[in-house]
A and B are shown apart, each in its own frame.
Chain A
């Protein structure tokens, strides 16, 4: 059995998987459709809940794979699977012959323009969580000018039939609280509001972060949905919501509104599923062989998954899954001999 393995996707899942493959003695090939490695991790500043640096984490993931073959700006054109091996043609005309494939294609971020009522792309002071994270890294964004009142809107593009995304994106609640604390650190005189439906603080130390947000940073939490955003004469945002806990409609003028955009399926999931003979679920993410016992394996022989390609995940879950995937793959290949 050949020791060549294809990893589709050069984000954290793909990088960790490639690293583990190398340790176990396999030859990994990473195919990445964008121009650099790192996936979405390259966009973040600090990771929850303990504020670990994202760029340091990324560097640690990138270092061991220096000697691994990486094809950037490349996509899969066709796959022919016969007798336990795959012949894969890439868009740069290179053909690889591999014994298994790890699908680490990750997720896409919800396009906030689709929720027109929040005004992203229409009003200057409405940004997304991704824009805010970028601001934390680069320290400049001409939409953020000394804001006195800042709002965070949870569940933008998630848990919403109206934009065809029923799933909860898992990480946005804790990210919102993390960013609320961070923005309060930068603008200590500001008032920060979080508009939430539920607060999903399921992970270790997440509740501590929530407690810190309330007690140390004074973040204000409003349980209710934002219905409309409009602008007043000074260009400030007038936000209307319902405060469900007091059962009253609520209005507040903000200088900055941050939309917590969710994790949605990649647009090319369908075409990849056709190429590799795997299936997608109703939510557009890939389907695994068994959601409890074999959640890193695909239905077809030789196809494995790692990371958010099979649904929203946190970063530690992704890294762990990459390790588990490689182990499953190794077990599978050992039987093939």
Chain B
């Protein structure tokens, strides 16, 4: 193939065929209720830190399922672990433990 010296920028389309589910599998073992999320957004709506940052647990769960790990971590590392999201989740997910587990699984110290 001839190398013209330039290339198209990578597609911004999410490619579900491509992403490495390794860490998601680990996370699902630690917190199996992860799969119950219906993305209603109650967690993000009640979040204390959302007044000051872009924190959004609903979006984070979605991003992790789509393989966009880095964006996910930056959206959750400001969590104050206050517990409001756990109190309002209509599916009864232990969101506090989920957030801690996400940080443990995806963020290097």
* Given A247-B56, A249-B50; A224-B41 close (CB under 8 Å): yes
- Is B90's CB under 8 angstroms from A242's CB? no
- Interface residue tally for chain A (C-beta within 8 Å): 19
* Given A160-B90, A162-B90; A226-B56 close (CB under 8 Å): no
From residue B53, how far is it (CB to closest CB) to chain A in Å? 10
Q: Does B89 contact A (CB under 8 A)?
A: yes
Q: Does B107 contact A (CB under 8 A)?
A: no
Mask of A210-253 contacts with B, CB within 8 angstroms, 1/0: 00000000000001111110000000000011101001010000
Q: Does B46 contact A (CB under 8 A)?
A: yes
Enumerate chain B residues within 8 angstroms of A228, measured Cβ to Cβ: 45-46
* Given A197-B38, A244-B39, A249-B50; A162-B88 close (CB under 8 Å): yes
Contact of B90 among A161, A223, A226, A241 (CB under 8 A): A161
Q: Does A330 contact B (CB under 8 A)?
A: no
Please tell me the size bucket of the interface on B.
Answer: 20 to 34
- Is A242's CB under 8 angstroms from B58's CB? yes
Contact of A162 among B39, B47, B84, B92 (CB under 8 A): B92
CA distance A115 to B47 in the complex (A): 17
- Is A240's CB under 8 angstroms from B87's CB? no
- Is B90's CB under 8 angstroms from A159's CB? yes
* Given A197-B38, A197-B40, A244-B39; A227-B89 close (CB under 8 Å): no
Enumerate chain A residues within 8 angstroms of B51, measured Cβ to Cβ: 249
Enumerate chain B residues within 8 angstroms of A226, measured Cβ to Cβ: 45
From residue A216, how far is it (CB to closest CB) to chain B in Å? 28
Contact of A225 among B45, B59, B84, B92 (CB under 8 A): B45
Enumerate chain A residues within 8 angstroms of B40, measured Cβ to Cβ: 197, 224-225, 244
- Is A117's CB under 8 angstroms from B39's CB? no
Q: Which residue of A is nearest B55, CB measured? A: A249
- Is A240's CB under 8 angstroms from B90's CB? no
Q: Does B64 contact A (CB under 8 A)?
A: no
- Is B44's CB under 8 angstroms from A244's CB? yes
Q: Does B101 contact A (CB under 8 A)?
A: no
- Is A244's CB under 8 angstroms from B88's CB? no
Q: Does B23 contact A (CB under 8 A)?
A: no
From residue B46, how far is it (CB to closest CB) to chain A in Å? 4
CA distance A225 to B44 in the complex (A): 9
From residue B33, how far is it (CB to closest CB) to chain A in Å? 11
Mask of A125-157 contacts with B, CB within 8 angstroms, 1/0: 000000000000000000000000000000100
* Given A227-B46, A228-B46, A249-B50; A244-B41 close (CB under 8 Å): yes
- Which residues of B in the span 73-109 have a Cβ within 8 Å of any Cβ on A? 84, 87-92
From residue A242, how far is it (CB to closest CB) to chain B in Å? 4
Contact of A242 among B44, B84, B87, B89 (CB under 8 A): B44
CA distance A247 to B51 in the complex (A): 13
- Is B45's CB under 8 angstroms from A161's CB? no
CA distance A155 to B45 in the complex (A): 15
Listed in ascending order, the chain B residues whose CB lies under 8 Å from chain A are 38-42, 44-47, 50-51, 56, 58-59, 84, 87-92
Given contacts A162-B88, A224-B45, A244-B58, 19 further A-B contacts (CB under 8 A): A117-B88, A161-B89, A161-B91, A162-B87, A162-B89, A162-B90, A225-B42, A225-B88, A240-B45, A240-B46, A242-B42, A242-B50, A244-B41, A244-B44, A247-B56, A247-B59, A249-B47, A249-B50, A249-B51
